[in-house]
Amino acid sequence: MTALRQAGRAVPAEVSLVTDYPSLDSNDVTITAVRMPLTQLSSVAADVLAVRAEGGALRDRVIEHAPQLMPPASTRPRTP
């Protein structure tokens, strides 16, 4: 936010801003966030590391819970 402000850019009028840290806020705007299912992601990552450490092959993994969009205040709809 500081860099955008110093560059004279307005959020969200000119720049949409999204973070992956839901608790990150600026003084003047609540930043739109995407909450990731970190517990599941870290569990799958640990499983993959254990399999690889034992010489196993990589395979696709599916995370059952989708990311969650937190209330958007620092983004705006696209305009044609």
**Token pair 């839901």 is at which residue?**
22
Using alpha carbons, select from 47, 34, 55, 26 the residue that is nearest to residue 12.
26
3-state secondary structure of 35: strand
pLDDT band at 27 (very low <50, low <70, confident <90, very high): low
Q: Is the model's pTM score more than 0.75?
A: no
Helix (H) or strand (E) holding 38: helix 38-53
Give residue limits of the domains in the chain: 2-69
**Token pair 């000119």 is at which residue?**
14
Given this model, what pLDDT does residue 55 score? 94
pLDDT band at 22 (very low <50, low <70, confident <90, very high): low
Reported as a single tens digit per residue, the pLDDT across 29-69 is 777 888 888 888 899 999 999 999 999 998 888 887 778 87
